[in-house]
Amino acid sequence: MNKENTPEGKVLGRQVGYPQHYMPEMLVRVPRSINREQYGINGSRLPFTGFDVWNCYEFSFLTRNGLPVAGILKIIYPCESEYLVESKSLKLYLNSFNMEPFGNTAQQGLTETVGIIRKDLSALLECEVKVTGFGADTYEGSAGIEPYDILENSTETDQIRFSQYTETPDLLTVDFDSGRMTVVSHLLRSNCKITHQPDWGSIYILMEGNRIPTRENLLKYIVSLRNENHFHEEICEMVFQRLNTLFFPNRLMVACTYTRRGGIDINPVRALFDGDIPTLLVSPAHKIKGFFRQ
């Protein structure tokens, strides 16, 4: 299919002018099923629970007396939603608030705009979307996901040969000893599905069961994502599905924290159980510090 005819092709990869006034019609949604089908993920019986967490760092509007207000938005919606929002369309939509007046005070304006955004996104995605606005004086706490062991910091890493740069699940050989791992790699890189521009991030994995992958080959597998062309959410679900179907773990959580682009970072998290999802990461009330690549 021609990319221009896909939902995401409406704005992504095209030169689109920034809107000067509030324009909810800029928003574009993408069916999750497009990518899930190729990995055997049934949308009506998902093998995981989780959320997509977006931090938007360049949100601004005017008060009714013309005073610019700058803030940060945290947007959270469930992985069970039929659609995801395309990131460039969200950026353009949020920029449409820049020159619009809301509220007599900064706080009133923030309350108004957050309500509008929550309503627009919930209608677009046909699910409950949580939106929280933070002012410049907001305390930034930890994400409740660290510390994890850094895979590439192993003393043996320099001796490992890496040669696969497209997703290679055969690299995930089994360590037949039962165990638990909480690891992170800051070597996550994939590419935008449409523009093929690189997306940089970190991947956090909690896994427990009778069979777990060797750390060396798990790192090789993460490196093999380097030339994959997927959205952030799709990468997270692909890794989760590979680990889940190959190892049948008792516990599994995969979180991907990506570098911000265009003032937005995207942080999908998927888990077998709600209790393994980092609480602060998905809390609407908590503005987290940036991760290593953010």
Architecture of domain 3-134: 2-Layer Sandwich (3.30)
Confidence of residue 174 (pLDDT cuts 50, 70, 90): confident
For domain 149-276, which CATH number applies: 3.30.1130.10, 3.90.1170.50, 3.40.30.10, 3.40.630.10?
3.30.1130.10
Is the pLDDT confidence value at 177 over 80? Answer: no
Is the pLDDT confidence value at 56 over 60? Answer: yes
Q: What is the mean pLDDT of residues 30-35?
A: 95
Global pTM value: 0.84
Dig out the tokens for 155 from the structure: 């003393």
What is the strand order of the sheet 264-271 is part of?
130-134, 68-78, 49-62, 264-271, 251-258, 198-209, 179-191, 149-150
Q: What is the mean pLDDT of residues 138-165?
A: 76
Query: Where in the sequence of the chain do the CATH 3.30.1130.10 domains occur?
Result: 3-134, 149-276
How high is the pLDDT of residue 194? 83
Q: What is the mean pLDDT of residues 74-100?
A: 95
Q: Which of 55-69, 79-93, 217-231, 278-292 has the lowest mean pLDDT?
A: 278-292
Task: Answer left, alpha or beta for residue 198, where phi above 0 means left and psi between -120 and 50 means alpha.
Answer: beta
Residues with a known catalytic role: 192, 199
Confidence of residue 10 (pLDDT cuts 50, 70, 90): low
